Amino acid sequence: MSYTLQRHFRALVAYVVLIIASLLPVSVAGAPMLLPDDLALRSDIQLLADAGLLSGPVSAWPISVAALHNEMRRVSVPADYRSGIRAAWYRVWQRVSSRARLKLKLSAIDEPVSVRRFTATPRGTGANATVDLGSDVLHLQLSTTLQERNSDDRRQARLDGSYAAVRAGKWQLAIGQIPRWWGPGYESSIILSTNARPVPAISLDTVEPLRFQSPWLKWLGPMQWSFFAGELESARKIPGARFLGARLSLRPSRKLELGFSRTAQWGGAGRPQDLSSLLDLILGRDNLGDAGITADNEPGNQLGGIDLRYLSPIGDAPYAVYTQFIGEDEAGGLPSRLTGMAGAEFWRGLAQGNLRIYGEIANTTTEFYKSNPRKNTAYEHGIYNTGYRYRGRTIGHAMDNDGLMLSLGGVWHDQGSSWEGVLRRIEVNTDGRLGGRFHPVSVQAEDRWEIWLATTRPFMKGKLHVGFGSQYINPVQTATEIDSSLYFSWERAWYPAGR
């Protein structure tokens, strides 16, 4: 019998924690991963990278705490750097140099957000407790959430964010439900975002960036690798399909960061899942009609592409441009039938803090750049026709397919608090048709205007996060709606003695 990761993951983590929790010392360094749920922290890390204080790639999350901690120990902030950069350095250092042993989080929201972004918006009303144990070699994080059932997901008990990890040299092997975000976008990632809940998976990641020593390849700069193999839910057209992913992030210079990403759905009930099928998938031999590939032996559904971020292409002002293109198919060994995203960001010091403003455009219609784009193609597949989704949400861009989003957002962060907000214009499901069984955002075409505002500040020995959003929704077939949403979360951390 095949080992069903989805079925046994909760028991595995619980048993491991019970057996060795009491044996593990608390490390002086922070937890091994910074998860993709803190926009202000991300802004600080990007600021340090742009200033040349961090040399490794920072576009793929989670980010290794060890990499940040070790590099920050070796550098000092020059005295002539502006105060905002020095303040960001100390905020990041505080995060990576200490670790809470226990965290408690309470959250409430009246309706789950349908188009999620890089932020910690609650998925529902409930409570979360996180226990963090380990050393520099072995690490365990058990994060248990109990929340009310809602339209987003009927499960009340969740282990999102839980994992067990072991480090060997510059690599880390982990098993768990680790949220991931691949790419430079702030509103979403075309290929892998936190819109859907994290898929239970085994993963292998670089803990610290790798570097070629050969003079022929040294110019590639620091490299970050990430691989994972997980299993999707059973309640889908192909139950228990595997979800695979690989990413290489490069930083050839302080100004340029590149990312190459590839994901795939493979195997599952009634589908080939032997070594030969996996090899066909890896080599890209998965198009119907090519090299004897039929509907019976087609190995899987793949996405792949590239993203980049370039710091101040003209001059040396505090701005950057970024883009991401992901292919739904392959032609000539390269991604084809592309969807894409592009943006620009600007930052500066403001009132003892740092302000970052970004503008972003994304289009999830396949071949949107042609006069006759392919509708109902992105995130769909003829065999895996539940699509590129997990538990009712798109794994890639939160709009799902055939969407167009324009957004203008920003985040401001000082020593004690942060503010963030975004204004979005979204065209959802533009042709009003369904490529698969359903469209996660809307079954009909909609025009939307959305505004979201949130703040985080100290409160009752913890942190209080409060957010408000309003949506003007103009469906093609039904009446116009104006919806509002209020959410909050309060989090407190307990640190070991002697912190």
How far is Cα 146 from Cα 108, in angstroms, rounded to an integer? 12
Mean pLDDT for the stretch of residues 116-126: 88
Instruction: Give me the torsion for CA of 74, 80, 83, 87, rounded to 10°.
Output: 0
The pLDDT of residue 53: 92
Q: Is the Cα torsion angle 384, 388, 391, 393 positive or negative in sign?
A: negative
CA distance 400 to 220: 34
DSSP letter assigned to residue 220 = G
Identify whether the C-beta of residue 116 lies closer than 8 Å to the C-beta of residue 185: no
Residue 225 in contact with residue 259, Cβ under 8 Å?
Answer: no
Mean pLDDT value across the chain:
86
Q: How far is CA 490 from the centre of its chain?
A: 22
Judged by average pLDDT, the poorest of 113-117, 248-252, 330-334 is 330-334
- Sign of the CA dihedral with 132 first, then 43, 251, and 247 last: positive
Any domain includes 123? yes
Terminal-to-terminal C-alpha distance of the chain: 47
Percent of the chain with pLDDT over 70: 89
pLDDT at 19 over 50: no
In eight-state DSSP terms, residue 72 is H
The structure's pTM equals: 0.90
Per-residue pLDDT tens for 43-73?
Answer: 999 999 999 999 999 999 999 998 899 899 8
Q: Is residue 352 part of a domain?
A: yes
Helix, strand, coil shares, percent, the chain, to 5: 15, 40, 45
Query: How does pLDDT run across 376-390, given as a tens digit for each residue?
Result: 889 998 888 899 999
Smallest Cα–Cα separation from 326: which of 290, 345, 302? Answer: 302
CA distances from 18 to 21, 120, 131, 142, 450 (A): 6, 29, 12, 11, 45
Structural domains counted in the chain: 1
Per the document, the length of the chain is 499
Q: Which of 141, 146, 172, 203 is nearest to 16 (CA)?
A: 141
Angstrom distances, CA of residue 238 to CA of 4, 5, 120, 244, 384: 14, 16, 31, 15, 6
User: What pLDDT score was predicted for residue 5?
Assistant: 45
Residue 427 resides in a domain? yes
In a domain, 109, yes or no: yes
Single-letter residue type at 123: R
Is 400 domain-assigned?
A: yes
Distances (CA, A) of 313 to 81, 310, 319, 339, 416: 22, 6, 9, 24, 33
Q: Does any domain span residue 222?
A: yes
Angle at Cα 291 formed by Cα 290 and Cα 297, nearest 5°?
A: 85
Instruction: Kindly report the CATH number assigned to the domain that includes residue 289.
Output: 2.40.160.130
Rounded to an integer, the average pLDDT of 232-236 is: 89
The residue ranking higher by pLDDT, 30 or 321, is: 321
Q: Is 476 part of a structural domain of the chain?
A: yes
Strand bridging mode 201-206 / 163-168: unpaired
In this prediction, what percent of the chain has a pLDDT beyond 90? 51
Domain that holds residue 56: 5-494
Note whether residue 499 is domain-resident. no
